[in-house]
Structure 1
Amino acid sequence: MQETEIDLLFLFLFLSLLLILTVMLAFSIRLVFSGKDQLPPGRTGFPIVGETLEFMSMGRKGTPEKFFKERMAKYSPEVFKTSLIAEKTVVFCGASGNKFLFSNENKLVTSWWPRSIEKIFPSSTQTSTYEELLKMRNLLLRFLKPEALQKYVGTMDVVARSHLDTHWNNHKKVTVFPLAKNYTFTLACRLFLSVENPTQIARFSDPFHLLLAGVLSVPINFPGTRFNKAINATRTIRKELIRIIRQRTADLGAEIAIPGNDILSHMLITTDDNGQFMKEMDIADKIIGLLIAGHDTSSAAITFILKYLAEFPKVYDKVLQEVEELAMEKKGEDLLNWEDLKKMKYCWNVVNEVLRMVPPVQGTFREAVTDFTYAGFSIPKGWKLYWSANTTHKNPKYFSEPEKFEPSRFEGNGPIPFSHVPFGGGPRMCPGKEYARLEILVFMYNIVRRFKWEKVILDEKIVIDPMPRLAHGLPIRLHPH
């Protein structure tokens, strides 16, 4: 063979090999980027930290929806990947994403809590199997279902009236948020624990804001950090709760307390399948969780209701008209009842619009229990999944002019399913939804009948940290009717 022929042969073999490799590479790329193997688009940010700082920063600036809006526009309006609190995370977006996660609870996904919560509540996480969580949820539903709550409406009215008499009457100016927390915490203690003594309530009410601030913080346990303050606050609260638990146990033994009269008593007299009672520490941690859920979210909602009623006098006037018409139907100082609250339809539309504008719970995590695909992308087992109300509540696809405050959105059939999700959805929808509705409407009825008000700070900043609040707590000037 001549050199030219040899060169041509080698060139032919080289090109053939190159063609084969190209085909194999193309096939491999096709496999990687097929719906079966392709991860959702997005970026995971810096090592460990991920995009957590940006996520929190946008919340503290009062624009949490911006984090999601930017990534939905850049990557996908349905799903994108990121990294939050040191976890590989997939964010499900829109009503379809909410529906998928809510309807696949305990099938493809399960609840998941950040590591910070595991360290703050170690006893609860060690015992919180799916079966236990289910039992706890059934216990809550027993006390928080509409039929059970009907008998508590009068008590809520008594607490609201007493609260306003003590902390609002004869004041020209008040700061709403701490007073709203006082009302909702007092009510939760009374209904969950049968604790009414203000001094006793105050002993463990103050540390609660430190606890909540540290729940979704970076889990670094050094003095001065939010996480460290949350752990110390939990110890303080738990110590006081265990004292209450022991006293209640003694009262039940002496037949002073009524078994099952509140959630605490029921926990103390209920055994598991093996006939074992719950440990004091487990009861204390679960009660702490209930008190957080039973007052922090509602107090945030009440604060923003008063903010928007101050900003929109016409909305306030319609609320006042509705409650005055209801008051005219009652005799003298008769307490509110279940049927009364059912008539407060416009008030509830206002509440729903406030919850749309500023949802108290921004979103929650889930974990993939198996590999599955969604919207053509692969979701690996073990990845954390996040849904956020901000992907629908401020989305013009679901709510026209989303920045406009308009309670009439909720008249008639209201928004499309899975677009308005301030209480979550599916099997893990907040069991306290009806409880929150009642305590908020009772407060609205009483506050609007007594006062009109105006904001002291016209452009007070909204901060999400991790729940929404106004930077100065919403100071207002009161004008008694």
Structure 2
Amino acid sequence: MIPLADPTVSLEALRAWVREKTILAALESFHLQLGNVFRINLPGFKPVMVVGPEAARFVLVDEKDQLLWRCEGDPVTSLLRQGVLVIDGEPHDSIRGVMNPALHRKMIQTYVTSFWRRTDEITSGWSAQKQVDMLVEMRKIALLILVDTLYGVDFRGELAALWAPIMKSIQYISPGLWMLWRGVPRPGYQRKLRALDGYLYEMIRRRRENITETDDLLGMLVVNPNLSEGMIRDQLLTMLIAGHDTSTALLSWVLYLLGKHPSVLKKAREEVDMVLGDGVPQWEQLSQLVYLGYVIDETLRMYPPIHLGSRIAAADLVFQGYNIPKGTRVLYSIYLTHHMEAYWPEPHVFCPERFAEQRPIPYTYLPFGGGQRNCIGSYFAQIESRIILARILQQFDLKLLPQNVHPHMGATLEPCPGVRMAVTPRSV
């Protein structure tokens, strides 16, 4: 039988949750006491949690065809409908094949200017503010970049008007009461979600009327004769929400950790100065930002934006001797795997140098998932984050302001209540 927490184990997990102000602490407590396979026992929500490299391989490779991404009734499925993130089998492979070229390395090279220019458009207002919330600012940058590069649209004019609908869509798919009470009334969402739909359908209409660009994602979708407007909308919304929210979380966590570790910040800034000087980032320079890459890698280990994967067993399965009946929700925890001391010495210590010393053991490091369905935007995110962070370090001195920050399990794992920093323009 799959291990289940008794009252003593549950009480210890609850204490950890209260002490650390994050449910991740409770999951770490369960993992420590119950092992790499355990069941979460809540009213209406009883998934099996699996942890570790063997579990990741089981989910991502060995039984990938029997563990489905789509769960009817989940808000993310209701919102994204037939989006690439929530469909399986041939329909997934087909639409991903249409989308892949827009996220290929060759295309991403052409996005470099947008990455730093859109960053500058937001950071140009920092001098007057003195203090900013990096969680908000990184979201602005990520949204401008995504809509510009993948849809060929300048989003600055719509950013303020669509901010609330975008935040509402993220809230809609985040963990909440719906996990325990399927079908719980959720008033207050539909008007905002319709506004976002209206924007996307109008974007599709305009591109259809004036097809001048077909090598960005929107163009590739619009010229495909097999895709309805609804199917195109589903992919645009999937990329808009999932694409920008993961980048927002990653960038915010990096800046938080740099602020918490001034010596790391100093070393990363010195590298940026040496490589970039006072020029804008160029594609050819990015491979020289080695230490900044380690900082990003270590941040993704400590606070992976997508901290778990959720699947539905399509058949009776067995993992490490435990029976998993058909229909069971299976969660594989990227966060817990990234914090296993057997693979990551002092896992709660921020140490970018660990990535200089050795390559991670397979399936112990999964910030972008793994297997055939690894994150479609993983390379985009890695290049984007390096350029945005380099540009910020190049232009500003940063100081983390006093605050109690903890990981919040929303649609992504983000720093709560935010990352407030003092920003001062540098004189290079």
Aligned-partner SS, 1:418 = coil
1:441-472 deviation line (CA, Å, top 9, x unaligned)? 11111111111221222433443334333333
Corresponding position of 2:217: 263
Structure 1 contact 357–393 (Cα < 8 Å) conserved: yes
Instruction: Give the Å deviation of 1:129.
Output: 5.3
How many residue pairs match? The answer is 415
Corresponding position of 1:199: 157
Corresponding position of 2:27: 68
Q: What is the aligned-residue RMSD (CA, Å)?
A: 2.8
Aligned-partner SS, 1:365 = strand
Corresponding position of 1:240: 199
Instruction: Give the Å deviation of 1:85.
Output: 8.4
301-310 vs 226-235, greater mean Cα deviation: 226-235
Aligned-partner SS, 2:38 = strand
Structure 1 contact 213–226 (Cα < 8 Å) conserved: no
106-115 vs 154-163, greater mean Cα deviation: 106-115
Aligned amino acid, residue 303 of structure 1? S
187-196 vs 77-86, greater mean Cα deviation: 77-86
Corresponding position of 1:414: 359
For 2:19 and 2:228, locate their aligned partners in 1 and report how far apart those are by CA, in whole Å: 38
106-115 vs 400-409, greater mean Cα deviation: 106-115
Question: How do 1:48-447 and structure 2 match up within 5 A?
Answer: 58=17, 62-75=21-34, 77-83=35-41, 86-113=44-71, 115-122=74-81, 128=87, 130-165=89-124, 167-216=125-174, 217-219=176-178, 227-252=186-211, 257-258=212-213, 260-272=214-226, 278-328=227-277, 333=279, 335-447=280-392
1:351-385 deviation line (CA, Å, top 9, x unaligned)? 11111221111212112222221111111122111
CA radius of gyration, larger in: 1
Aligned amino acid, residue 242 of structure 2? A
Q: Which of 399, 416, 428 is the aligned partner of 1:471?
A: 416
For 1:59 and 1:243, locate their aligned partners in 2 and report how far apart those are by CA, in whole Å: 46
Structure 1 contact 211–229 (Cα < 8 Å) conserved: no
Instruction: Give the Å deviation of 1:58.
Output: 4.2
Structure 1 contact 82–91 (Cα < 8 Å) conserved: yes
Aligned amino acid, residue 71 of structure 1? F
1:141-180 deviation line (CA, Å, top 9, x unaligned)? 2211223211211221222223222x22343212211111
For 1:284 and 1:71, locate their aligned partners in 2 and report how far apart those are by CA, in whole Å: 40
For 2:32 and 2:365, locate their aligned partners in 1 and report how far apart those are by CA, in whole Å: 21
* Counterparts in 2 of 1:44 and 1:244: CA distance versus 1, 3 Å: farther
Task: Say if 2:15 is the partner of 1:40.
Answer: no
TM-score by length of 1: 0.79
Aligned-partner SS, 2:210 = helix
Instruction: Give the Å deviation of 1:83.
Output: 4.6
Unaligned runs of 5+ in 1: 1-38, 46-50, 273-277
Quote the sequence identity (%): 23
TM-score by length of 2: 0.88
Aligned amino acid, residue 376 of structure 1? G
Structure 2 contact 80–237 (Cα < 8 Å) conserved: no
* Counterparts in 2 of 1:124 and 1:432: CA distance versus 1, 3 Å: closer
